Structure 1
Amino acid sequence: MESQVDEVKSRVDIVGLINEYIPLKKAGRNYKALCPFHGEKTPSFMVNSDRQIFKCFGCNEGGDAFVFLKRMEGMEFGEALRFLAARVGVRLKEYQPSPAEQKKEVLLKISETACEVYHYLLTRHPSGEQARAYLKSRGVTSKSIKDFKLGVASPQRNFLFQFLAKKGFLPQDISLAGLTLATSDGVVDRFKNRIIFPIFDSQGRTIAFSGRAFGDDEPKYLNSPETPLFHKSKALYGINLAKMEIKKEKAAILVEGNIDVISSHQVGVINTVAPLGTAVSSEQVEILHRFAENILFAFDTDLAGDTAAKRGIEIAENAGLNIRVVQLSEGKDPDELIQKKPLEWKKAIKEAVPIYDYFINSAVKKYGAEGAESKRKIAGEVLPEIARLSDEIVKAHYLQVLENKLGIEEGVLRAALKKYQGEEKGTVNITEILEKPIGERKAGIVERYLLALIIQSSYLPEGLDGKIFDQSQTREIFGKTRELKDKEGRLKVKVLAKNIPEPLLPTFDELLLLEIDEEILADNQRVEKEINYCAKRLKELNLRTKLKELSLAIKQAESVGNEGKIASLSQDFRDLSKTLFRLEEK
């Protein structure tokens, strides 16, 4: 089986696979993108086709195609293997899934069977008549019932349990799937006499259910509990149907309710999903970030006053997404607006406002802009939001907007803004490091950059000495690189990778994925110049270090009056100083 795993890995195009989730951009011999696993505004996610690997230098996630699918889709190894094997046309002779994988398969079968039962009861059984009438009254079409696989749960206490048990599923597995409850009167169905909205993952697999009560029964909505298949914070209602349209439109519309999603899809706005509540989680944002850079919030909740909703907005913004707000008519939710005025819904989406305009407008509407107290409240509500902006131009723009709304000078607002701002963390790049004298702490960064440049450009100058590498790992990898160049006369990454000892492969992969300016890699003369410059800076550091050591040795010789040693060391000091001077003059 191991050989088949290797066969699948050798045939997979990791660049093509990952590009289906996030847009990759060529960066030298690598590809780069914004990381789908954490929020960032500068790409640090790198993919290499030679080694079929990826790595994010921001959050340190990395690995091969199997690791990527596990992280993106929650696939176990066996699932990822079958998925990739089918993708590249490898027929798996045998594969023994792990106990966890086997259990997950059983739970998926139970959930899928339950979904079919609920859907049958709604669409083809007399007991579904009341539910059909209700859905019709809410404007849900037959096509939507089919597309979303809506259903209805029997009013009988354990109808579904009995059905699934007859199909051979074990009671404990049915319970683990979240479909039954143990009571003093025996096992009962969790969902009874409710309209059922199946919840699917992005692959279209049934993972949970949301049940809406008829009439005044409480709770109005009942969701599946957390199970091995279902985690509420990682689920989005409608994502299986909406994901391709989200990618096409480069935007996802978030609404609060399941019916809102269905109504929006019915009028052609298919890039609409619901987060199963107003508390948008980082996992849900991560899912949406795979497909789009823009999120439009269309909640009937007051976003500015809803702590959970504001936290979701902050998560989305920290992930680098652009946030806009769909402003609905007073007192209306998306479903109500769509049923009465579908064109107004589309118009509201088109006219969605940036989130900070929304915060300002909402505060002015709430408090009014007249009087010192009202202005203080508006500033107190809006300035903490503006303080989170990292772009100074955008920040200045919104301070000017607030100045115009409140009639308070921008300078006063900026002074008030300071108490909400934390210290910004500076970022260091290789150019900044090389432009200044290199200290010992920065030498490791330059060593890795120099070696990455050699590997990625496949250019190794003849006179470059491995002694300039102080770190043992970079020195050893450089040694293997030099050996291959001397033996073969040229460098090939795939061949070099085979010659790197196993313990050094993680470091080698990091060097291979390290981002290097494309313009440098595309120009052989610039590559040579950059390599020589880095080597020069490392030699300078090496000489300075030796001069420090000599200076200390001279002082020690002076303390004991060893004149001969003082003279010898002083001559060495002068010689090294001249060498350093000549090097710096080049």
Structure 2
Amino acid sequence: MSSYIDLKYINELSSRLGQFKKKGDYLFNFRCPHCGDSKKSKTKARAYFYQVKNDMFFKCHNCGEGQSLSNFLKFIDPKKYESYLLERYKGSAPSTPAPKFDFKPTKFEDIDYFDKLTKISELEDSHPAKVYITKRMIPESFWSKLYICNKFMSFVNEVKPNTFPHTKGEHPRLIIPFYGVDGKPFAFQGRAFGKEQPKYLTVKIDSDKQKVYGLDRVNLQQHIHIVEGPIDSMFIDNCLAAGGADLTLRVPPDNVTYIFDNEPRNKEIIKRMYDVVSKDYNLVVWPEDMRHKDVNDMIMAGLTKNEIKDIISTNTHSKLSALTKLNYYKKC
């Protein structure tokens, strides 16, 4: 009964604890409200609720604070603390004395989801995947973070069981991992080599994260470019790929430029372009004589990074100017 009550109150507190995550039946991780955890990283969480016998306790591995759940409640919410005491201890005394906090911090091993796959950089030049990457002119600096997966559906089911109900139609794909600001993967995209549909399939490892590629290398203090696909982002400095994600960035809108694929007849893309303008972001509206669909197509057609940079700069608009250009650009 005591465990049930403890878990009930932990659940009630969860929305007030930053980065709160359940790690096990009786283990929870979150940012420490005592010390505030890391001031440099908003994603670091080094405080835990854990069980000793039938009772739950709190421990922060950053500031070292340790206390019973009841004392933690007293610190966070005195009124809830009183309710907890009435419910938890009516008719009896606490069954477990406070433990000594002399244990070693619990370690959660990072899982290397891609250790069974082969990096593109390790393939022979004649390998079809290496040939594809070379043909797309993807910078060699990215090859060590791209992988070949020969059985994509089986791989996905290993990472996220039962994603595919069966593996009929199994096929290889290029794997493009999405890394967070902490350098840890939270999603990956599988790019088909053949006619398999959908051509791009993104799988979330962490369902709480947005499908955004490039967070591990973007500098939020500099001007940010946002394109649709990860491969396009590899040719533009300080660039993210958001695809269809409704991206939320804590930066001024005028410090962000959206670059959509050149598809004036695509209603969905045009709708998103108008939405970007309404939020005061900068928007690239491709010139009428642009015949290439996206940045990678431009590279393959012989344009250099600097030439593309100039085209982007010349055709970047905002507010009324963007609306005017967009009205002429759209063909749907």
TM-score (norm 2): 0.60
Q: Is the 8 A contact 1:298 1:334 kept in 2?
A: no
Q: CA deviation at 1:354?
A: 1.8
Q: Does 1:223 align with 2:202?
A: yes
Q: Does 1:349 align with 2:328?
A: no
Q: CA deviation at 1:356?
A: 2.5
Task: From the superposition, tell whether residues 73 and 311 of structure 1 become closer, same or farther in structure 2 (CA, over 3 Å).
Answer: farther
Q: CA deviation at 1:334?
A: 1.8
**Number of aligned residue pairs:** 244
**C-alpha distance in structure 2 between counterparts of 1:94 and 1:74, whole Å:** 21
Q: Does 1:307 align with 2:271?
A: yes
**C-alpha distance in structure 2 between counterparts of 1:313 and 1:157, whole Å:** 38
Alignment of 1:67-466 (within 5 A): 72-73=42-43, 75=45, 77=47, 94=103, 97=106, 105=108, 108-109=110-111, 113-118=112-117, 120-124=118-122, 129-146=127-144, 149-155=145-151, 158=154, 160=155, 175=158, 177-178=159-160, 181=163, 183=165, 192-225=171-204, 227=205, 229-231=206-208, 234-242=210-218, 244=219, 246-247=220-221, 249=222, 251-264=223-236, 269=237, 271-277=238-244, 280-281=245-246, 284-286=247-249, 289=251, 294-300=255-261, 301-302=263-264, 306-314=270-278, 317=279, 323-329=281-287, 330-332=290-292, 333-339=294-300, 340-342=302-304, 343-351=306-314, 352-364=316-328
Q: CA deviation at 1:200?
A: 0.7
Task: From the superposition, tell whether residues 241 and 143 of structure 1 become closer, same or farther in structure 2 (CA, over 3 Å).
Answer: same
Q: CA deviation at 1:219?
A: 1.2
**C-alpha distance in structure 2 between counterparts of 1:202 and 1:363, whole Å:** 37
**C-alpha distance in structure 2 between counterparts of 1:81 and 1:331, whole Å:** 57
SS at match of 1:254: strand
The answer for the alignment partner of 2:91 in structure 1 is none
**C-alpha distance in structure 1 between counterparts of 2:197 and 2:181, whole Å:** 30
**C-alpha distance in structure 2 between counterparts of 1:180 and 1:128, whole Å:** 34
SS at match of 2:228: coil
AA matched with 1:117:
K
The answer for the alignment partner of 2:14 in structure 1 is none
**C-alpha distance in structure 1 between counterparts of 2:211 and 2:230, whole Å:** 12
AA matched with 2:324:
I
TM-score (norm 1): 0.36
Q: CA deviation at 1:239?
A: 1.4
Task: From the superposition, tell whether residues 218 and 365 of structure 1 become closer, same or farther in structure 2 (CA, over 3 Å).
Answer: closer
Larger strand proportion, structure 1 or 2? 2
**C-alpha distance in structure 2 between counterparts of 1:334 and 1:84, whole Å:** 47
Where do 5+ consecutive residues of structure 1 fail to align? Answer: 1-61, 86-91, 162-173, 368-586
Q: Is the 8 A contact 1:154 1:192 kept in 2?
A: yes
Q: Is the 8 A contact 2:146 2:174 kept in 1?
A: yes
AA matched with 1:346:
K
**C-alpha distance in structure 2 between counterparts of 1:140 and 1:94, whole Å:** 48
Q: Is the 8 A contact 2:153 2:164 kept in 1?
A: no
Q: CA deviation at 1:256?
A: 0.7
Q: CA deviation at 1:183?
A: 3.9
Larger helix proportion, structure 1 or 2? 1
- CA RMSD, aligned part only? 4.0
Aligned-pair identity in percent equals 17
AA matched with 1:240:
D
Q: Is the 8 A contact 2:258 2:276 kept in 1?
A: no
Task: From the superposition, tell whether residues 218 and 76 of structure 1 become closer, same or farther in structure 2 (CA, over 3 Å).
Answer: farther
Quick check: which has more Rg, 1 or 2? 1
Q: CA deviation at 1:297?
A: 0.9
Q: Is the 8 A contact 1:201 1:235 kept in 2?
A: no
Task: From the superposition, tell whether residues 77 and 297 of structure 1 become closer, same or farther in structure 2 (CA, over 3 Å).
Answer: same
SS at match of 2:232: helix
Cα deviation code 1:95-151 (max 9, x no counterpart): 555xxxx7xx45x41xxx222332x253335699111110000001322212xx000
